[in-house]
Structure 1
Amino acid sequence: MRKKLELKPRSSAAVPNENVASRPSKPNPFGEAKPIDTDEAFRRVEERRRKQKKRNVDDYWF
């Protein structure tokens, strides 16, 4: 069994800092992530696939 923790009394340095007060109290689970337009991303991927497919077909018919 563990020994009981012997905690010291709180120190008086618990005065809130200006930097701490400006931040929200809860952390953001997404960090600094920004939303993306998934439709636009899918369009870009499909366009790249079409170009790659066309390039592969053109390579065979040189």
Structure 2
Amino acid sequence: MKSAELRALDGEALSKKLGETREELFKLRFQHATAQLEKTHRLRQVRKDIARILTVQNEKKRQG
């Protein structure tokens, strides 16, 4: 997910996206712990997506 896409969303949509992404990270971690995860690179991608969402949320909070 790109930052430009996130900046186009409103606060409520960002919060919803953050919840979904955190849930995905939880599921990926669980699969990784049980040795069922084949695409381990997704863990890093999802963590970075969460950081992007939080960054955009903080930017919007500071602006208005």
User: TM-score band (shorter)?
Assistant: 0.3 to 0.5
Q: Which one has the largest radius of gyration?
A: 1
Kindly indicate which of the two structures has a greater share of residues assigned to helix: 2
**Which gives a bigger RCO, structure 1 or 2 (Cα 8 Å, sep 6+)?**
2
